[in-house]
Structure 1
Amino acid sequence: MFRKSNWEHLRIPFSYYLMPVYWFALASVPDVNTLNAVVVWLVLHLFLYPSSNGYNSYFDKDEKSIGGLKNPKKATIGLYYLSLVFFLIALGISLSIDIVFFWMVLTYGLVSMAYSHPSVRLKKYPYLSWLTAGFFQGAFTFWMCSVGITDSGLVWPIPRELWMAALLTSLLLLGSYPLTQIYQHEEDLKRGDLTLSIRLGIMGTFGFSAIWLLLGGLAFAGYFITIEKPWAVWPFLLAMLPVVSYFSIWFILADKDPENYVSHRMSMWMNKISATALNAFFIYLFWQSQTPSV
């Protein structure tokens, strides 16, 4: 369990790519409990996400590059137990915040297990896995963060601003999710996993993601206008500029030379650029939301 390779499969640095949802939630809720916010960050990014990564790696048995690992070592039974330990730690800490937050962490963990476990393996169903990943890594995680970082806990019905923001996170993830599969066609087909990217094909994946990312960008702009924060539109578009630029260049290169450019390296750079841009924007949005208006 304590072998170095098992810890590598947890891919803790990969949590950085999922962090924008947390920052967006932090910027959207009205009453932030600072201690809870720190604990929620720890639960998600140091324990829950790594647990999911390790569990999926154990059952996927990848031999080629995966998200966050260019050359993954062979997964052992120790990785399976280590991922469960991390999941139990996440659950234990979440109980200190709120019982609803605990149940949401539990639900997220169980769904992530169903994604790769052979008895269910949602991953082999192209559209179901796409919708599941988009919802649970997006809207569900946004609501989970919102419940955990506030003093008020779960509020029902969910305020309009929060459910709109939650759906926006899913829109972006629905657009980016197929791009994370684009270089894994050979590995996925070998296991019998018909992913959405395989179904769409290489160029179809780029086109599909472009449409969803465009819809997501327009929806974000409309959201900021709706909640009377039109000043946030231009900073958001500025943050998306490097993302769109890289995506466009990648698309052109992949169209001309798919063998060299439909790769783990190019996909990871897409993740790095988009996560950095969105993290920076949502931290800015949070900072602005904490600044008293004059």
Structure 2
Amino acid sequence: MFNKSAWLHLRIPFSFFLMPVFLFALAVSSNVSIQNALIVFICLHIFLYPASNGYNSYFDKDEGSIGSLKNPPKVNKGLYYLSLIFDFIALLLAAYNIAFLLMILVYGLVSKAYSHPLIRLKKYPFGSWLIAGFFQGAFTFMMSYIGINDIHFFAALDKELLLAAILTSVMLWGSYPMTQIYQHEEDYERGDITLSYKLGILGTFHFVGLVFSLSSLGFVWYFNSYFNLTVVSIYLIMMAPVIGYFSYWYFKVRKDKQAADFDHTMKLNFISASCLNIFFIYLFLC
């Protein structure tokens, strides 16, 4: 039942692109437990995110490229059950902290609503953008922080943490439309009018550039306020490759819109995630 196709659609390597949120929460944690941090990492990146990927792939039945799968195989019922098993394991791992457990449950339910035909949040361009950015950003940041520090929900409602959580969502709201830029045709055929489709190819670049700039300014202010100028400088240095590749790709797309494809999207995602992961690891160690 759980054949190669089902495992491929879990897209476990894709969790690398979502790792910056966890690492940011780890970097600002005041009471880090290595054991809890490891549990949270495994819970999110090995089970929860892949469960969400598999469940959504099962209902989307993509034939074109999707995140980390250039040529996705056909889905089968085994993928549906495998994604539920992964969800259940994530819940078991989270059971040491009630607040963390409940947040894992909520995240799983929202992620299912994204593609399930009865709700299918994906077909609402602005609603799906807001919800995805909030839950993959601020919500996941707080969820990770609570799990890593093994605290109750209200103990995490600190001004500094809430600001950091908001910044993660702004970061995700900036990057999210870019993940849709090569799927316009297939999404439209399914009736999914994504934000990137509404913006158009160049409009997506302009929108992402604007929100990314706001996000970067927010992070500079945050690191200057709660850390120091050295951290600000390292952050700006680590963002330089992202800005460089984004600019290169933008001018390439201006000449040929066919360049707004899967390969360029994955390269930008990889560069962005790598730079942010390295920066947040530095922030944790410094």
Verify same fold: TM over 0.5.
yes
Match of 2:246 in 1: 247
Task: Calculate percent identity across the aligned residue pairs.
Answer: 56
| Structure 1 residue 33: Cα displacement | 1.1
Report the CA distance shift for 1:35/1:56 in structure 2 as closer, same or farther (over 3 A): same
Alpha-carbon distance in 1 for matches of 2:133, 2:276: 17
Q: After superposition, give the CA deviation of every residue in 1:188-218 in whole Å (9 maximum; x if it has no partner).
A: 0010000000000000000000000000000
Write the mapping of 1:117-128 to structure 2, written as runs, cut at 5 A: 117-128=116-127
Alpha-carbon distance in 2 for matches of 1:244, 1:181: 19
What are the ranges of 5 or more consecutive residues in structure 1 without an aligned counterpart? 289-294
Write the mapping of 1:203-214 to structure 2, written as runs, cut at 5 A: 203-214=202-213
Does the 8 Å CA contact 1:101/1:147 hold for their aligned counterparts? yes
Aligned residues: CA RMSD: 0.9
Alpha-carbon distance in 1 for matches of 2:198, 2:33: 44
What are the ranges of 5 or more consecutive residues in structure 2 without an aligned counterpart? none
Alpha-carbon distance in 1 for matches of 2:2, 2:167: 39
Does the 8 Å CA contact 2:97/2:150 hold for their aligned counterparts? no
Match of 1:280 in 2: 278
Alpha-carbon distance in 2 for matches of 1:59, 1:152: 36
Alpha-carbon distance in 1 for matches of 2:20, 2:77: 32
SS at match of 1:115: helix
Alpha-carbon distance in 2 for matches of 1:151, 1:185: 42
Alpha-carbon distance in 1 for matches of 2:172, 2:267: 16
| Structure 1 residue 2: Cα displacement | 1.5
Write the mapping of 1:227-266 to structure 2, written as runs, cut at 5 A: 227-259=226-258, 261-266=259-264
SS at match of 2:153: coil
| Structure 1 residue 34: Cα displacement | 1.1
Alpha-carbon distance in 2 for matches of 1:248, 1:111: 34
Q: Answer yes or no: is 1:146 the counterpart of 2:154.
A: no
Q: How many pairs align?
A: 286
| Structure 1 residue 157: Cα displacement | 6.4
| Structure 1 residue 229: Cα displacement | 2.6
Q: Answer yes or no: is 1:16 the counterpart of 2:16.
A: yes
Match of 2:83 in 1: 83
TM-score (norm. length: structure 2)? 0.98
SS at match of 1:101: helix
Q: Answer yes or no: is 1:55 the counterpart of 2:40.
A: no
Alpha-carbon distance in 2 for matches of 1:85, 1:239: 37
Report the CA distance shift for 1:222/1:86 in structure 2 as closer, same or farther (over 3 A): same
Alpha-carbon distance in 2 for matches of 1:218, 1:28: 19
TM-score (norm. length: structure 1)? 0.96
Higher mean Cα deviation, 228-237 or 211-220? 228-237
Alpha-carbon distance in 2 for matches of 1:87, 1:65: 24
